[in-house]
Amino acid sequence: MHELTEDGASLSEGKSPEAAQDEGGAAVPLPVSPSMPPHAAAAWDWFRSLGSPRYHVAPMVDQSELAFRMLCRRHGAQLAYTPMLHSRLFSEEPKYRKENFTTCGGDRPVLAQFCSNDPAHLVAAAGLLAGSVDGVDLNLGCPQRIAKRGRYGAFLMDDLPLIERIVAAAARELPVPVTVKIRMFPSSEDASLPDVERTVAYARRLQDAGAHLLAIHGRTRDQKNAKEIRADWGVIRAVKQALHIPVIGNGNVRHKQDADRMMRETGADGVMSAEALLEDPALFAPDRTDGRVASSAERCDLLVEYLELAGEYPTPMRMVKAHVHRLLGNWLQEHTDLRDVVNNFRELTLERLRDVAEEMKSRILASGRDHPIPKLSERQIARMQREAAMAAAIEEQTREEEAVSALECGTKRKLQEGNIA
């Protein structure tokens, strides 16, 4: 098992904890631990062969493409996932493969993520990439309606035997490791709360089926609004303590300080970010130790970097445009002339977008502000107010948790020194 040391680091061996703790510190009973799966040592050897990566770029449909992965790697990311790929289409349609998967020599380590509800489809699709990636990830976390219609992602949680068959087939037949990305099960009594025991049991079944790594998002499939619903790190901690393979945490990571705190508090072996990285691809930069995020002007510079990479690694314009909107955000609503250039898809080029980024930076610096003054509808204003209130509540809760954690560590240290009876 993997116990936690006092500072939250994981140990590769030790006794199984009898209980984990939730975010409030309450004891959460865990199921009796099964024996170590036979591939556990191989899973850790594989993880170490990748450099024991701590900072991961999450799989994002149409947005974790090669150019963006390379931008994030340039600024501290240590492992990246491809966008989600449809296993059946990937295995059957060469055009789909060509349009949706590209890589290069510097794009390592990289995991190819697939959605699938058929073991044969996943094995066939992943087999085509085995020499180009370091592992294959099964998407068990997508909560969107398209995943429900297609019966994949988080909606496979309704058929655990099928998931086990898919993972087992991939583990048995592919020459690279299989990994999984999951969400929590909700409590049957209160859907806003997690079912810790069921989630831990689910994670163990995936491990025992052959998964070499498990990433867990600390929300349920119905908790889709990351800005309004706080991820539960307590469940991530419980899963980490219960498994014998590397565990990656996901959720509530706004900046690198959050990422490092998650690893300390949960014992997770790494942290995955999606939304926050889209708005700040330098989130994992080594000098980001104080909770700082990129300023608006810096985001313009990051956009220029991205556009250069999109030229080096040809990228569909729909993906490029999506990154432009994420990095410039509401500044485009304030500067509608630049927004019109971005939205004129027929005449859009990387050169035009670079001009937009440089002009936007010039206007931002001239304004003396780091935040735009967008023209918003009443509905948008109300939504922003809700999100701001939630962000403030999360910030306050984070400060309280850090204070309690510091107090507990100080008390433990004094006890160990014999200063307190």
Instruction: Look up the pTM and report it.
Output: 0.82
- Check pLDDT > 80 for residue 401: no
C-alpha dist (Å) from residue 225 to 112, 176, 214, 283, 327: 25, 34, 22, 21, 20
**Residues 236, 218: contact at Cβ < 8 Å?**
yes
Distance CA 357, CA 300 (A): 5
Q: pLDDT tier at 411 (50, 70, 90 boundaries)?
A: low
* Cβ neighbours of residue 202 closer than 8 Å, sequence gap 6 or more: 157, 160, 182, 185
How confident is the model at residue 415, as a pLDDT?
A: 66
**Residues 15, 5: contact at Cβ < 8 Å?**
no
- Check pLDDT > 70 for residue 28: no
Distance CA 408, CA 34 (A): 31
Given the residues 72, 115, 142, 300, the one annotated as active site: 142
Query: Is 104 assigned a catalytic role?
Result: no
Residue carrying the six token digits 């010039």: 362
- Check pLDDT > 90 for residue 319: yes
Distance CA 405, CA 401 (A): 6
- Check pLDDT > 60 for residue 403: yes
How confident is the model at residue 3, as a pLDDT?
A: 36
Exposed e or buried b per residue across 346-385, where buried means at least 16 C-beta atoms within 10 angstroms of its C-beta = eebebeebbebbeebbebbeeeeeeebebeeeeeeeeeee
57 bridge partner residues: 80, 273
20 bridge partner residues: 28
DSSP code, position 392: H
Could you give the percent of the chain with pLDDT greater than 70? 86
Alpha helices in 137-267 (DSSP H): 145-150, 160-173, 196-209, 233-242, 256-266
Q: Which residue has the higher pLDDT, 235 or 148?
A: 235
Distance CA 355, CA 282 (A): 21
Averaged confidence pLDDT in the chain: 88
Q: pLDDT tier at 224 (50, 70, 90 boundaries)?
A: low
Task: Please give the average per-residue pLDDT across 203-228, as a whole number.
Answer: 90
How confident is the model at residue 26, as a pLDDT?
A: 36
Distance CA 236, CA 304 (A): 36
DSSP code, position 32: P
Q: pLDDT tier at 33 (50, 70, 90 boundaries)?
A: very low
Task: Please give the average per-residue pLDDT across 359-381, as a whole number.
Answer: 87
The predicted-structure confidence for 44-67, as pLDDT tens digits, reads as follows 999 999 999 999 999 999 999 999
- Check pLDDT > 90 for residue 79: yes
The predicted-structure confidence for 91-118, as pLDDT tens digits, reads as follows 999 999 999 999 999 999 999 999 999 9
- Check pLDDT > 70 for residue 30: no
How confident is the model at residue 373, as a pLDDT?
A: 86
Task: Please give the average per-residue pLDDT across 158-169, as a whole number.
Answer: 97
